Amino acid sequence: MQQQKKGTLFVFSGPSGVGKGTLNAKLFAEFGDQIAFSVSATTRAPREGEIDGKHYFFISRQEFENRIANNEFLEYAQFAGNCYGTPKPYVLSLLEQGKNVLLEIEVQGAMQVMERMPECVSIFVLPPSFEELERRLRGRGTESEEKVRARLETARGEIAYAPRYQYQIVNGEDVDAAYQQLRSIYLKETHQR
Ligand code: 5GP
């Protein structure tokens, strides 16, 4: 029996406000039949409009601890005071089925995935400048001043990890240009080009 080709695992990171969501949405619009987005578990409260099971699985800290103890996460990390984790069985089974899987995760978790699954493809999205990132984060207006400051501080730390990723994309003025880079990385790494 011929073995089905395994999917490719993509690890996608970048500071909050850099436009990861927009780039992912474009990738999904074009290649949605080949890609699955992993839905993470988090202890953070849902934001307005977020749906349990779609954007995240919103769980308690106790439940999160239980899942760590049961080795249910491919990786997990703390970010801005909350816990986030990638469900391992879900991701592994999608890859087995030949789906390409995209993990949109922060840097600590990404380092764990790169170590555990070195065949993964890692991509970091950079802002054109730190000032621009600040402007975008404030413009989003979903967070208090204190939280924005905390996220900016975290962003500085995260950007320092960019060189450890295989690919870096700058999301500047032209989101379509950034998308073209992401698209060509995707095609190359899934052997469609
Ligand atoms: P947010 O709270 O804005 O949805 O996400 C905060 C950060 O956590 C983002 O950088 C996001 O990519 C990251 N994140 C989301 N899910 C996971 C996960 O399962 N694991 C890790 N390590 N980070 C995650």
Write down the mean pLDDT value for the chain.
93
> Which of 84, 116, 123, 165 to mutate to test ligand 1, by most ligand atoms within 8 A of the CB atom?
84
Q: Ligand 1 centre and the CA of 104: distance in Å? A: 7
* CA-closest candidate to residue 112, choices 70, 71, 75: 75
- Per residue in 3-46, pLDDT (tens digit) is 668 999 999 999 988 999 999 999 999 999 999 999 999 999 99
pTM: 0.92
Q: Ligand 1 centre and the CA of 193: distance in Å? A: 30
179 lines ligand 1 (CB under 6 A): no
> Which of 23, 78, 79 to mutate to test ligand 1, by most ligand atoms within 8 A of the CB atom?
79
Nearest CA to ligand 1 atom 7: 106
The pLDDT score that the predictor gives to residue 150 is: 84
59-63, 65-69, 148-152: least confident range: 148-152
Strands 121-126 and 35-37: unpaired
pLDDT at residue 117 above 60? yes
Measured distance CA(61)–CA(75) in Å, rounded: 16
SS3 188: helix
The pLDDT score that the predictor gives to residue 1 is: 53
Q: What is the DSSP string of 47-59?
A: PTT--BTTTBEE-
Mean pLDDT of 81-88: 96
Measured distance CA(23)–CA(176) in Å, rounded: 9
Instruction: Indicate which atom in ligand 1 lies nearest the CA of residue 108.
Output: 22
55 lines ligand 1 (CB under 6 A): no
SS3 192: coil
Amino acid identity at 55: H
6 lines ligand 1 (CB under 6 A): no
Burial per residue of 42-81, b for 16 or more beta-carbon CB atoms within 10 angstroms, e otherwise = bbeeeeeeeeeeeebbbbeeeebeebeeeebbbbbbebee
